Amino acid sequence: MSDQTRATDGVTGSRSRILADLHQVWRMRVFEEKVRDLRLAGDAVGSIHLGIGQEAVAVGTAELIGPDDALFATYRGHSWALACGVPPAALFAEVLGRATGTNGGRGGSAHLSAPAHRFFGENSIVGAGAPIAVGAALAGRFDGSGRVAITVFGDGAMNQGAVHEAMNFAAAMNLPVVFVCENNTWSELTPIDEMVRDPHLHRRAAAYGIPGERIDGNDPAIVRDRLGAAVRRAREGGGPTLVEAMTARLVGHYIGDAEQYRRPGELDEARRLEPTVRLAAQLRAAGAPDAEIERAEHDARAETEQAAAEALAAPLADPATAKDHLYV
Amino acid sequence: MSETTSISETPSATTTPATTTSQLTYGQAVNAALRRCLAELPDTLLYGEDVAKPGGVFGVTRGLRREFGERVFDTPISESAILGSAVGAAMLGRRPIVEIMWVDFSLVAFDQIVNQLANVHYVSRGQLRAPVVIRTQQGSAPGACAQHSQSLEAFFLHVPGLRVCMPWTAQDAYDLLVAAVYSDDPTIVIENRTLYNAAKQDVVLGGPVQQPGGLRVRREGSDATVVTWGAFTARALEAAAALAEQGVSLEVLELPWLNPFPTDEVIERVRRTGRLAVLHEANVTGGFGAEVVARVAGAGVPLRSPALRLGLPDTRVPAAPSLVAELLPGSDRIAASLRQWVLGP
């Protein structure tokens, strides 16, 4: 991460702030670990994509999302839903196909939404959420909300035509959209640096005439600072920004991915830099006792276990409703 | 933030509207419908390639930018962005009317129609709506070439969650578009550019907003039922008129709405005549005519002759008019096919 376009030294918060961030990272981490357990146990079925290791991007973004804003995520979106404030029990229930899920089992792990929480949905089509987010920003131009739309996608999506169209459309119309590229360096199972000539994806922003920067995506404070600037600029009429948040996926593309594509030493390095390690070190340096650091994880685990139990106890989606909501 | 913030209210025309009758072309009727919707529904947006300042490549949206300002705007040549932004704007309470200049161009952005637009309401369990209208046009015209002449309604009709209509008369060009914009379901309105500048017709403007659906009995007859839609309705009627002089009595049903489709009414009509022919400009295999035949057959309607499907043969569309004429059946060939089918060789 030596090639960030901006020095990020000094962007750290208070001890309580770091602790709160660590707790949020753990909430996302243990949520997804629990999803993995439920999938492996057969309680959840189908293709499920985890973002373990990437949580700091969502944690750093969470408080930037205003009450009228709209967030659009990808199929690797559990953490983003949590960042928007969607209750974990409703998310578990959705993943488990329960009636109490965010969408009553219509969305599943990869296509869930909770608009009341500003979470306008995951998307299982790589890059497809970007133009939809542009539309949410467009709506804001006419409804007086001052809405900023945030769209999150991976490095692989940067090679999708829809993302290009969305960036140009938003730039040409000066729409308040923040394009967040979570660059975990893997486009599903293929390394991004073999699929592009220039792996500095943020540089494409220049071609659209919009600001673009690469940031360390493993530290919530840095994400909050840099993405905050982009959100502010959008809200003040400055148009879209592309932020490339460098991070690492510590698990496979999907549950069951054998990950034979990994490069030597890659995961060891990634584990050294991942957010829970990073934030715990910051807390230790700030004088936090071990018990305080451990409590962040412990509290998250307790909350998550309870939410999962609640979801497992909920009724399955009712077959009698399978055709409901096709048309208004 | 309540559950309803992202859901626009279903608009309803509560007062009895005052109607006027004007002589309009089909294209002018589309323009009048857009003007009405933009005036009555402040949540509407109208955008697409060249629709605003240029007024559309066929002039159909002329004058609307001047009248409605920035709610009517031009876009980049970016169908994914046009359609995707319509999905997002609709989720957040707008009522976008977007134009895809030629139906062939929808194929570059089919993801946004099928994977995105059609899923919004269902997958969100009704928490989100996508009241998007996609206006487009299709059909064969001389020299249109392979990528500007296809009839692709069957693609959209295969997608649950979408509504699809294909107006033929100027009145329906007006009424169906108004109905589509007022509907909260995503709706594809497939116009036909060969009709835009056809002869003016009386069009009643300002009437009550219609519900999607229904059929038009364009001709009564007793020997067979011909089901058709779009510009080919004219060819069916010409063929039926010619055959009437030869003692063959054809009933012609025009289906302005293909989804929702009035299956029961069509079945009842075919039950009375005992014969069913489907006629469309699209090629035969996988065309929606096959679905109509299947629905009638599936209902167990006894038929005096095997069901007949007429349309473009399963081929690409050439550019030269002489080649197109060989492939696309005109009313003479349609009449000959129907005559032989009813009377035998």
What is the end-to-end Cα distance of chain A in Å, rounded? 49
Has residue A172 been placed in a domain?
yes
> By the CB < 8 Å criterion, does B213 face chain A?
no
ipTM of the complex: 0.95
Q: How far apart are CA B180 and CA B96, in angstroms?
A: 11
- Please state the φ and ψ torsions of residue B38, each to the nearest 5 degrees: -65, -35
Give the model's pLDDT for residue B6: 40
Count, in order, helices (H) and strands (E) of chain B: 13, 14
Give the model's pLDDT for residue A3: 38
Q: Would you say the pTM of this structure is higher than 0.80?
A: yes
Say which residue the tokens 């309604």 belong to: B153
Which amino acid, A180? V
Instruction: State chain B's mean pLDDT as an integer.
Output: 95
Question: Closest by alpha carbon to A95, among A139, A160, A153, A49?
Answer: A49
Candidates B78, B105, B185, B261: best to mutate against A (most CBs of A within 10 A) is B78
Give the model's pLDDT for residue A2: 37
B89: nearest CA partner in chain A? A135
Cβ-based burial of B50 (10 A; exposed 0-12, middle 13-18, buried ≥19): middle
Give the model's pLDDT for residue A5: 35
> By the CB < 8 Å criterion, does B124 face chain A?
yes
Residue of B6, B43, B85 lying closest to A115 (CB–CB): B6
Taking chain B (345 residues) in consecutive chunks of 10 residues, what is each chunk's mean pLDDT? 41 68 98 98 98 97 98 98 98 98 97 98 98 97 91 98 98 98 98 96 97 97 98 98 97 98 98 98 98 98 97 95 94 98 92
Say which residue the tokens 């997958």 belong to: B123
> By the CB < 8 Å criterion, does A169 face chain B?
yes
pLDDT digits (tens, 9 = 90+) for B1-17: 333 334 445 555 555 56
CB of A12 closer than 8 Å to CB of A18? yes
- A162 interaction partners in chain B (CB closer than 8 Å): 80-81, 84, 109, 111-112
Mean pLDDT value of segment A96-118: 98
> By the CB < 8 Å criterion, does B2 face chain A?
yes
Give the model's pLDDT for residue B7: 43
> By the CB < 8 Å criterion, does B93 face chain A?
yes
Candidates A106, A132, A324, A326: best to mutate against B (most CBs of B within 10 A) is A132
Please name the residues in contact with B98: beta carbons below 8 A apart, sequence gap of 6 or more. B46, B47, B48, B82, B83, B86, B132, B133, B134, B135
pLDDT digits (tens, 9 = 90+) for A283-327: 999 999 999 999 999 999 999 999 999 999 999 999 999 999 999
Please provide the size of chain A in residues. 328
Whether A138 sits inside 8 A of B94 (CB atoms) is yes
Which ranges of B218-259 does DSSP label H, i.e. alpha helix? 232-244
Q: What is the 3-state secondary structure (H, E, C) of A289-321?
A: CHHHHHHHHHHHHHHHHHHHHHHHHCCECCHHH
Give the model's pLDDT for residue B10: 55
CATH number of the domain within which A61 lies: 3.40.50.970
Is the pLDDT reported for residue A261 higher than 70? yes
Give the model's pLDDT for residue B15: 56
pLDDT digits (tens, 9 = 90+) for A176-191: 999 999 999 999 999 9
Has residue A298 been placed in a domain?
yes
Instruction: With residue B97 as reference, give the H or E element that holds it.
Output: strand B95-100
- B124 interaction partners in chain A (CB closer than 8 Å): 103, 106-107, 113, 115, 121, 325
B183: nearest CA partner in chain A? A328
Is the pLDDT reported for residue A4 higher than 50? no
B70: nearest CA partner in chain A? A142
Give the model's pLDDT for residue B345: 82
| Stronger pLDDT, A44 or B18, i.e. the higher one | A44
Give the model's pLDDT for residue A13: 76
Instruction: With residue A214 as reference, give the H or E element that holds it.
Output: strand A212-216
CB of B277 closer than 8 Å to CB of B308? yes
Q: How far apart are CA B69 and CA A87, in angstroms?
A: 42
CB of B289 closer than 8 Å to CB of B278? yes
pLDDT digits (tens, 9 = 90+) for A183-238: 999 999 999 999 999 999 999 999 999 999 999 999 999 999 999 999 999 999 99
Give the model's pLDDT for residue A242: 98
Give the model's pLDDT for residue A9: 45
Has residue A328 been placed in a domain?
no
Has residue A241 been placed in a domain?
yes
Query: Domains along chain B?
Result: 22-205 (3.40.50.970), 216-343 (3.40.50.920)
**Is B280 noted as a catalytic residue in this protein?**
no
CA distances from B310 to A227, B47, B221, B284, B288 (A): 59, 36, 19, 7, 11
> By the CB < 8 Å criterion, does A132 face chain B?
yes
**A303: containing domain:** 15-314
Give the model's pLDDT for residue A255: 95
- B96 interaction partners in chain A (CB closer than 8 Å): 135
Closest-CA distance of chain A to residue B84, Å: 5
Give the 3-state secondary structure percentages of chain B, helix then strand then coil, rounded to 5.
Answer: 40, 20, 40
Has residue A200 been placed in a domain?
yes
> By the CB < 8 Å criterion, does A107 face chain B?
yes
CA distances from A180 to A8, A154, B267 (A): 18, 8, 53
Is the pLDDT reported for residue A154 higher than 60? yes
Candidates B127, B182, B184, B187: best to mutate against A (most CBs of A within 10 A) is B127
Has residue A325 been placed in a domain?
no
> By the CB < 8 Å criterion, does A289 face chain B?
no
Quickly count: other Cβ atoms within 10 Å of residue B210's Cβ.
Answer: 17
The DSSP call for residue B243 is: H
Has residue A319 been placed in a domain?
no
Domain count, chain A: 1
Give the model's pLDDT for residue B18: 86
Q: What is the 3-state secondary structure (H, E, C) of B258-313?
A: EECCCHHHHHHHHHHHCCEEEEEEEECCCCHHHHHHHHHHHCCCCCCCCCEEEEEC
The DSSP call for residue B114 is: I
Has residue A2 been placed in a domain?
no
Closest-CA distance of chain B to residue A158, Å: 15
- Which residues make beta-bridge pairs with B308? B277
Instruction: With residue A138 as reference, give the H or E element that holds it.
Output: helix A129-143
Whether B45 sits inside 8 A of A118 (CB atoms) is no
DSSP A144-184: S----EEEEEETGGGG-HHHHHHHHHHHHTT--EEEEEEE-
DSSP-based three-state secondary structure for B84: helix
Instruction: With residue B250 as reference, give the H or E element that holds it.
Output: strand B250-254
